[in-house]
Amino acid sequence: GESVGLHLPTLSVQEGDNSIINCAYSNSASDYFIWYKQESGKGPQFIIDIRSNMDKRQGQRVTVLLNKTVKHLSLQIAATQPGDSAVYFCADNGAQYSGGGADGLTFGKGTHLIIQP
Amino acid sequence: DTGVSQDPRHKITKRGQNVTFRCDPISEHNRLYWYRQTLGQGPEFLTYFQNEAQLEKSRLLSDRFSAERPKGSFSTLEIQRTEQGDSAMYLCASSSTGGALEKLFFGSGTQLSVL
């Protein structure tokens, strides 16, 4: 089946630097994308989402960029803090277009963001 | 805290036993999802409900798994005759058809260990 994947399993950044986490998706029918943050022992926590009619969306300290041409999205975190340490997942809604019915979100494997002091 | 509650947080059981998990979604959300997550992987869709109707089931959901949402509020996920391969985090999520349908709010999950 089609899936969403992330380029790097682990990303290490210095505290205060900006972080960029990348994601490639394969289902060209996907029109909704979402980033989640998951801390150890907890469920995924919503960060930001974007629809395919947009290229960029900003939140508080976070920005999501979507490039539909190459089926790529990224999550940028400004001024990374120790509390940003977590696994970050991208997900898309493409399964509903290929499987028939709303199969929820399709998640990638995640990138573990490590903050160096 | 997203407002989605799951119980229990942890469950240890012996192979062959039955287990049941409960999820209480955000009260005004009419969609409820179950996902499974194994170590190092992203969550995988299992099934979802709109109100009390179970509308979709993944091929991952074997006949040992059954989910219910009898009154369109809380949901239960039962696994019969558990196997070691069932060990995983079981996540519940909810969303609203009145908002961004795909924006799922997840609970903290139930961590199942089958010995």
% helix, strand, coil for chain A, step of 5? 5, 50, 45
Smallest Cβ distance to B42: which of A46, A101, A107?
A: A107
Instruction: Say what the pLDDT of residue A6 is.
Output: 54
* A40 touching chain B per CB within 8 A: no
Torsion angle in degrees (nearest 10) through CA of B25, B35, B111, B12: 100
- With contacts defined as CB-CB under 8 Å, which chain B residues touch A108? 42
Read off the amino acid at residue B51: N
> Which is more confidently placed, B107 or B101?
B107
Smallest Cβ distance to B43: which of A32, A44, A102?
A: A44
Sequence-distant (6+) residues with CB within 8 A of A37 are A44, A45, A47, A84, A86, A87, A88, A89
Average pLDDT of every residue of chain B: 92
Task: Please state the rounded mean pLDDT for residues B39-53.
Answer: 91
Q: Is pLDDT above 80 for B66?
A: yes
Read off the amino acid at residue A3: S
**Residue A11, H or E segment:** strand A10-14
Three-point CA angle B27, B79, B10, nearest 5°: 65
Q: How far does the CA of residue A2 sit from the closest CA of chain B (Å)?
A: 13
Q: How far is CA A46 from the centre of its chain?
A: 10
Task: Please state the rounded mean pLDDT for residues A89-104.
Answer: 72
- Percent residues over pLDDT 90 in chain B: 75
Q: Is pLDDT above 50 for A1?
A: no
Instruction: Say what the pLDDT of residue B2 is.
Output: 76
Instruction: Say what the pLDDT of residue A7 is.
Output: 55
Task: Please state the rounded mean pLDDT for residues B5-11.
Answer: 97
> Which is more confidently placed, A93 or A18?
A18
